[in-house]
Amino acid sequence: MTADQPLAIALVHHPVRDRNGALITAAVTNLDLHDLARSAKTFGVERFYVVTPVAEQQRLVTRLLDHWVVGHGASYNPDRAAALELAAVVDSLDQALADWRQLTSEDALPLLTGAQRCDGISFSMGRQMLKQRPILLTLGTGSGLAEELFENEWPVLEPIAGVAGYNHLPVRAAAAIMLDRIKGTGKEL
């Protein structure tokens, strides 16, 4: 079995949509960072980009990371340090991609996600893609990634299908399931 290429995730706060489809910048929330970092660490993700162009929010994230990765929190709870040290704050998805390509290779590609997309590749194809090139799994906050990001001809992952047509997973749950489906051993199924 071919080994996987490196995997990173990006949590995008701009550009995203609100519930009415309007373009917004979502606020960074403390818990998203903790939850996504811990899920990322569990599944061997190498980098977790927190994408926001808002300087004040960037400072907030930096303070939070300092506390848990090098400050008092690191000795209080080393498991959180191990997860949050994957995180880095960046201005834009382009900047995240540029950094990820520098860390891996120019082949690295975003893999976009969206609960409303019907043009996505299957999770099985996502797993195959990860054997061929580094991937930046890209999740939107608010009500999902803005339309303009889908105009870059980057691949899109199919939505997580539940059993009853309800399609409103929190980004924290969606990220966990996606990482399990793409990186989990799957031996249980």
Binding site for its own copies (CB under 8 A): 19, 31, 34-35, 38-39, 41-44, 77, 79, 82-83, 122-124, 158, 160-164, 166-170, 172-177, 180-181, 183-186, 188-189
Closest distance to its own copies from the beta carbon of 151 (Å): 26
CA nearest neighbour of 144 among 116, 119, 121: 116
| 99 in Cβ contact with 49 (< 8 Å) | yes
Task: Report the residue number, 45 or 146, with the smaller CB distance to its own copies.
Answer: 45
Which sign does the torsion angle of CA 46, 48, 53, 54 carry? negative
Closest distance to its own copies from the beta carbon of 94 (Å): 28
Task: Report the residue number, 68 or 97, with the smaller CB distance to its own copies.
Answer: 68
CA nearest neighbour of 173 among 47, 5, 38, 46: 38
List CB contacts of 8: < 8 A, sequence separation 6 or more: 45, 46, 47, 48, 49, 96, 100, 108, 134, 135, 136, 137
Task: Report the residue number, 102 or 124, with the smaller CB distance to its own copies.
Answer: 124
Closest distance to its own copies from the beta carbon of 139 (Å): 13
Task: Report the residue number, 90 or 175, with the smaller CB distance to its own copies.
Answer: 175
Which parts of 18-95 are beta strand (E)? 23-24, 47-51, 87-90
Closest distance to its own copies from the beta carbon of 37 (Å): 10
Closest distance to its own copies from the beta carbon of 55 (Å): 26
List CB contacts of 90: < 8 A, sequence separation 6 or more: 49, 50, 51, 96, 99
Estimate to the nearest angstrom the gap between the alpha carbon of 64 and the chain centroid. 18
Task: Report the residue number, 102 or 167, with the smaller CB distance to its own copies.
Answer: 167
